Structure 1
């Protein structure tokens, strides 16, 4: 008896499969060339046909430089996948990330990038608009200028400990110090205390806490997860998390956050730290323990790694530009007669130092990747270009920060461009948005600037800096997985007050 499901011998299954594959390729090619509503937006053909080239550069860690090259070749509006359009125009920050004209809503985030694993709890970065407004409102006081002044003694204590440790290890400028480590230890200790009521002990022990090693190693994992999200393979990301495959660092890090947060809640401590308002009102806000953990993890990562990265970039750029280093050092030392005078408030008068930090943010933005948004129903116009519903759009910080249309001599480190120097009068300073733009911009901007200014001012007041030759080409060929994968940054620190003690006492 012959089964009704038996395939006749004369049917060639491999040939049929090959024919179907060929038909699919030909149809997709025809659609991309003649029917796709994005067909008139330029870019390399293979990039417009498939997302694989983009994802290759994500995994390689050089997508930021590749996008800049594509803008140079194809112009300010390019396609990097069949469904993604990248803009390189200051107006795009407002059109993509700001409130829509005549509409109170915003262009929503594209979740396959921000949350490739849909099993994970939401946090401030990835929650919907309504929850974002509520959570941000609760956190806003903790990140205000007033709150930073309330936390000044705490922050100042860690910065003073940093200066003490640098004096102990600088060997009177004879041995270079790896400033990448010292900046990381400082910012993680500060955010640990601000977030959980206790530091990681990095400065005290002059070494990394195991948690920090986990955090810094999760960025590459997350790049892989985002790549799978781009391919529509979100179920695979869930599998990797559930079975601890390629997700061990992420899971271990979240477990440590959960343990630390649990201790923080059980202690019942009353202190105005960053997480306090969420803990107190978790029931009213509908935040279960998983969402508290997710938000705490976000605060720790975003409040430490990016600040340390910018300080590394500023140190490298200043030590490779002696004129700027001399000028900012003179500004700091002429403004204060003792170390104790340097506070979160008093550093506000250091205009040239702030210009140096802003120029460092331009040339070495801590977050290099795009922040993709999804065009809503009915489409939207971005910089005069109508995009249909479902299109993914964004801006690359690295690319727009080096565009000659917006910056004179973009490869030149010129703090003067932030001080209304006539030479740079045509610079579009609004092209640089290191903390993003609009209602979802970085809530930690005040904290970041407060830490950066205080740390850099105290180092410049106490030490003469000189770059070790081994770090002369520190920025060359650095890879980026959302944030930079930084090599050691070796700097000689020669104390100013070898005879009379720290701070000129």
Structure 2
């Protein structure tokens, strides 16, 4: 007669085997469903992508930011619409962008499984629901209106003047300037002053607080991980930073970013309670708004601040870096811009207004072409039509399906932008002369009801910075190339250049 211990061991073994077999059957049934009975089963695409999200994981995590190139390959093979995960479709069609990223009259949710990557679930940016987003966005819109941004002109110019002082010092010392870091210090100081009433004073740092730029990129890179494992965020927040440093260094950057923002939000809330209002700032405006009390909690405002500060610094700084590099790389373009600027700024230190600069056609073309080659958020931005099917050509896309396009593919569409890798501001002047709305295909800020709230501030910074800097300083690119330091090599939510890039560097040769 077998002993009780042997019987228990056999029973446990049988349970393990049964559980394993059940798990295999579950996977098999799930695989059959996804391949043959899923609502997206008839859409073209690789079977492996239809079977498992690990397909995306492999190209985005193992090959670090290379899923965008796989998408390009899939469209070349399967056509303009492809099933790229078990539940998501991707479209490469520049003329369909406006339909997918539609205005508020057409309800579009964000994809719940995608917005987790922001690590700021209560922010407007990461709000999946169309209705809740409208509520949160309504409190931000007045501050970022064209009129409000025009009233910020003196704040923007004051910070540009601080950058000019640094450039004047660099002429004397022959220092090589990391332009991407310098411009990010500028945009960071502007957005933090606008948000909280005080700057981080990045422009005063010897290296322009390069660590902040690296933190934003690292935090964005960690977002790719969070998109695959959304349950990991609360765990990461609970792990001590020194342990996290060993396990996941990019996550440390993300949490450090959150801690920095939280301190500023807590300070604004404390001052508000004490009756010391920071009038004219974004977060004071949110506290004074008619949002319900739960929308003004410290946790909610921290998430809002994190995305606003990140988005309000990195992308505009990158546009300035791209534009400056290409102008210095082709002196004919730079000379043409300076000649136009001289018509409204007779001397390098002539005062000029934003409204005047916005009327200059070549400066506008220079800026639009730089924004095009900055791309904005290079990763896809899925949208969901919750109640109605979407129609794309002969395809009917079921309601609730995440569908995305990628800004990069629109801006590199050869049918719209011939020689798309080339920086060619004149293409915008030619299009205007021909009556062609080329700006319809400028999607760096996305489109529709979820369009970037900071678009007016970004343009103001671009117009004023380029006008002042290019009128006052002669610069030369220093050991920087388009291939290694400008063009994107990987998609980490924002596009980043090749590994080993030392950034966009220049020497400030002389004042003008």
* 1:309 partner SS: helix
In 1, distance between residues paired with 2:74 and 2:12?
51
Aligned to 1:308: 317
Work out whether residues 196 and 281 of structure 2, in 8 Å CA contact, stay in contact via their aligned partners in 1.
Answer: yes
Aligned to 2:283: 275
Give the counterpart of 2:505 among 474, 481, 490.
Answer: 490
Kindly indicate whether residue 234 of structure 2 is the aligned counterpart of residue 238 of structure 1. Answer: yes
* 1:335 partner SS: coil
Kindly indicate whether residue 348 of structure 2 is the aligned counterpart of residue 336 of structure 1. Answer: no
Q: Which moved more, 1:320-329 or 1:25-34?
A: 25-34
Give the counterpart of 2:441 among 427, 431, 440.
Answer: 431
Task: State the Cα distance separating 1:165 from its structure 2 match.
Answer: 0.9
In 2, distance between residues paired with 1:390 and 1:138?
27
Cα distance 1:446–1:189, how it changes in 2: closer, same or farther (>3 A)? same
Q: State the Cα RMSD in Å.
A: 3.2
In 2, distance between residues paired with 1:195 and 1:151?
12
Cα distance 1:421–1:105, how it changes in 2: closer, same or farther (>3 A)? closer
Give the counterpart of 2:425 among 408, 411, 415.
Answer: 415
Cα distance 1:327–1:384, how it changes in 2: closer, same or farther (>3 A)? farther
In 1, distance between residues paired with 2:112 and 2:155?
36
Match runs of 1:171-190 below 5 Å: 171=172, 175-190=175-190
Work out whether residues 466 and 491 of structure 1, in 8 Å CA contact, stay in contact via their aligned partners in 2.
Answer: yes
Match runs of 1:369-448 below 5 Å: 369-377=379-387, 379-382=389-392, 385-421=395-431, 429-448=439-458
Q: Which moved more, 1:454-463 or 1:344-353?
A: 344-353
Q: Which moved more, 1:355-364 or 1:486-495?
A: 486-495
Aligned to 1:198: 198
Aligned to 1:289: 298
Match runs of 1:49-448 below 5 Å: 49-59=51-61, 60-99=64-103, 104=105, 106-115=107-116, 122-127=122-127, 128-171=129-172, 175-209=175-209, 214-228=215-229, 234-244=230-240, 245=244, 246=248, 247-267=251-271, 268-281=276-289, 284=292, 286=294, 287-338=296-347, 339-377=349-387, 379-382=389-392, 385-421=395-431, 429-448=439-458
TM-score when normalising by structure 1: 0.86
* 2:142 partner SS: helix
In 1, distance between residues paired with 2:423 and 2:213?
31
Work out whether residues 268 and 284 of structure 2, in 8 Å CA contact, stay in contact via their aligned partners in 1.
Answer: no
Aligned to 2:477: 467
In 2, distance between residues paired with 1:251 and 1:79?
33
- Higher relative CO (Cα under 8 Å, sequence separation at least 6) belongs to 1
Task: State the Cα distance separating 1:347 from its structure 2 match.
Answer: 1.4
* 1:376 partner SS: coil
The count of corresponding residues between Structure 1 and Structure 2 is 486
Cα distance 1:177–1:378, how it changes in 2: closer, same or farther (>3 A)? closer
Task: State the Cα distance separating 1:189 from its structure 2 match.
Answer: 0.8
Cα distance 1:484–1:404, how it changes in 2: closer, same or farther (>3 A)? closer
In 1, distance between residues paired with 2:438 and 2:346?
37
Task: State the Cα distance separating 1:482 from its structure 2 match.
Answer: 0.7
Q: Deviations over 1:161-206 (max 9, x none)?
A: 111211111348x553210111011111111111111111111233
Work out whether residues 376 and 445 of structure 2, in 8 Å CA contact, stay in contact via their aligned partners in 1.
Answer: no
In 2, distance between residues paired with 1:484 and 1:81?
21
In 2, distance between residues paired with 1:207 and 1:31?
55
Structure 2 residues not aligned, in runs of 5+: none
Cα distance 1:292–1:447, how it changes in 2: closer, same or farther (>3 A)? same
Cα distance 1:420–1:285, how it changes in 2: closer, same or farther (>3 A)? farther
Work out whether residues 265 and 302 of structure 2, in 8 Å CA contact, stay in contact via their aligned partners in 1.
Answer: yes
Q: Deviations over 1:22-62 (max 9, x none)?
A: x5666555545543432343233332332223222222122
Cα distance 1:12–1:121, how it changes in 2: closer, same or farther (>3 A)? closer
